[in-house]
């Protein structure tokens, strides 16, 4: 009976799926002139109830399932903590029906991917720097003395971010990598001259004092050039400022603290490290 009724309609194609005892599914596709006419649809010989309603202008799908995207622009706080707070509140206050799920993408997805790469790149970079120092000096002790500039430089970068109320973002992580190289370079400039003076004179204290005073200007020049070059980025408020400011802030703050270490603490560490050796000689 259903087949006969549908076949009587003009320009109508249909599919049917009948079980042994009852009708299980009927799918009908009408021509465009019928689909756009509500009165014509009401006149088909099937019991229907039709009305107009507001629906989404576009239905997005992914993997054969409907997808609804909710976007948000995060300001004046880091993206990572915002998403964590959103996840916590949704878990506490929202009861998702069966068949629904949530996924967080966009910039946050890129942030997670970059964080995973940095978690590998940063230790690898520091290990390579330490290895090159050992090769350059032929001494693990000297390499570690110079490498002590890295933790203090990182501390200065973190303090600068806290002072400017900035989050620890990916660009700040890249700044820490660049900062490590600058901190090691300053220590390398001073310690290489102290070693040279020690080989020439054999006097530890005089070699340290001469090295610190002689290399004071090169160390300060390196620090000033690197830090002043990042000042425009640190105060930028235009396009790309959210990327430039954390990076520049980390470098400037870290250079200040690493320069203090290079000029004051590094000579003291070298004195303690080689005091017994020079005494025995």
- The 10s digit of each residue's pLDDT in 6-34 is 444 444 444 444 444 444 456 667 777 77
Residue-level pLDDT at 47: 59
Q: Where in the chain is the domain with CATH 1.20.1640.10?
A: 117-280
pLDDT tens-place string over residues 88-101: 888 888 887 887 87
List all residues 6 or more positions away from 28 whose beta carbon is below 8 Å from its beta carbon: 6, 12, 13, 14, 44
pLDDT tens-place string over residues 104-162: 777 777 777 777 777 788 788 888 888 888 888 788 888 888 888 788 888 888 888 88
Report in angstroms the alpha-carbon separations of 177 from 28, 113, 172, 259.
64, 18, 9, 16
Residue-level pLDDT at 27: 63
Which of 49-58, 254-263, 267-276 has the lowest average pLDDT?
Answer: 49-58
The pTM is what? 0.59
- pLDDT average, residue stretch 181-210: 82
The C-alpha atoms of residue 174 and residue 247 are separated, in whole angstroms, by 7
Residue-level pLDDT at 121: 80
- 35 or 277: which leads in pLDDT: 35
pLDDT band at 217 (very low <50, low <70, confident <90, very high): confident
- pLDDT average, residue stretch 74-101: 78
Q: Please give the backbone phi and psi of residue 15, each rounded to the nearest 5 degrees, phi first.
A: -125, 150
Q: Render 176-242 in DSSP notation, one character per residue.
A: HHHHHHHHHHHHHHHHHHHHHHHHHH--HHHHHHHHHHHTHHHHHHHHHHHHHHTHHHHT--STTHH
Beta bridge partners of 13: 29
pLDDT band at 187 (very low <50, low <70, confident <90, very high): confident
Looking at the predicted structure, is the pLDDT value of residue 66 above 70?
yes
> Highest-confidence range of 25-34, 52-61, 81-90, by mean pLDDT?
81-90
Other Cβ atoms less than 10 A from the Cβ of 89: the count is 10
Q: Which fold has domain 117-280?
A: Multidrug efflux transporter AcrB transmembrane fold (1.20.1640)
Residue-level pLDDT at 276: 65
pLDDT band at 72 (very low <50, low <70, confident <90, very high): confident
Find out whether 129 and 180 touch, Cβ atoms under 8 Å. Answer: yes
pLDDT tens-place string over residues 226-265: 778 788 888 877 766 777 888 888 888 888 888 887 788 8
């Amino acid at each position: 009976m259903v087949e006969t009724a549908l076949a009587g309609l003009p320009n109508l194609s249909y599919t049917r799926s009948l079980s042994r005892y009852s009708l299980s599914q009927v799918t009908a596709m009408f021509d465009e002139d019928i689909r756009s006419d509500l009165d014509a649809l009401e006149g088909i010989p099937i019991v229907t109830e039709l009305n107009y309603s507001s629906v989404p202008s576009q239905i997005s799908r992914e993997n054969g399932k409907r997808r609804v995207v909710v976007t948000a622009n995060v300001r004046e706080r880091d993206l990572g903590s915002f998403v964590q707070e959103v996840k916590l509140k949704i878990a506490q206050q929202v009861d998702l029906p069966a068949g629904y799920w949530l996924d967080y993408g966009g910039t946050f997805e890129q942030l997670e991917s970059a964080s995973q790469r940095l978690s590998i790149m940063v230790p690898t970079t520091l290990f390579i720097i330490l290895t090159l120092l050992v090769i350059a000096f032929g001494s693990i002790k000297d390499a570690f003395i110079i490498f002590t500039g890295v933790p203090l430089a990182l501390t200065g970068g973190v303090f600068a971010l806290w002072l400017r109320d900035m989050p620890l973002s990916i660009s700040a992580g890249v700044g820490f990598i660049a900062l490590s190289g600058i901190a090691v370079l300053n220590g390398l400039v001073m310690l290489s001259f102290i070693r040279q003076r020690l080989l020439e004179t054999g006097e530890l204290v005089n070699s340290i004092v001469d090295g610190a005073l002689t290399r004071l200007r090169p160390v300060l020049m390196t620090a000033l050039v690197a830090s002043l070059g990042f000042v425009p980025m640190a105060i930028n408020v235009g396009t790309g400022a959210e990327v430039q400011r954390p990076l520049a802030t980390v470098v400037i703050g870290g250079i200040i603290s690493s320069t203090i270490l290079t000029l004051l603490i590094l000579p003291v560490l070298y004195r303690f490290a080689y005091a017994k050796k020079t005494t025995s000689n």
